[in-house]
Amino acid sequence: MPTTPGESRPQLRIERCVCHDVTFREVVDWSKATGCRSVDAAAREFKCTTSCGMCLPYVERALETGQCVFHEILPLRRGAAR
């Protein structure tokens, strides 16, 4: 999307698994409540990471850091797709 001088671009905002409509906030809240930080356990609980797999790096980082909103595209590691 081209912009003119002085015009800002919309900020990228990634905050959910779109396949299963699960926010990363829900995953982090669940993790805090249960003490579980396993991606596999989160996948069983919410189904995130089990369809297209594009949310996998976000779920991993959310569980590691508690970050729930991302403003950059995180790379999917080779061999990480489910």
**Share of residues in the chain with pLDDT > 70 (%):** 88
Strand partners, 70: 14
**Confidence at residue 66, expressed as pLDDT on a 0 to 100 scale:** 98
**Confidence at residue 74, expressed as pLDDT on a 0 to 100 scale:** 96
Mean pLDDT of the region 8-26 = 93
**Share of residues in the chain with pLDDT > 90 (%):** 78
Alpha carbon distance 37, 51 (integer Å): 20
User: Which long-range CB contacts under 8 A does 63-67 form with residues at least 24 apart?
Assistant: 63/27, 63/28, 63/31, 63/37, 63/38, 63/39, 64/37, 66/28, 66/32, 67/24
Q: Give residue-wise pLDDT tens across range 39-57.
A: 999 999 999 999 999 999 9
**Confidence at residue 10, expressed as pLDDT on a 0 to 100 scale:** 74
Alpha carbon distance 22, 46 (integer Å): 7
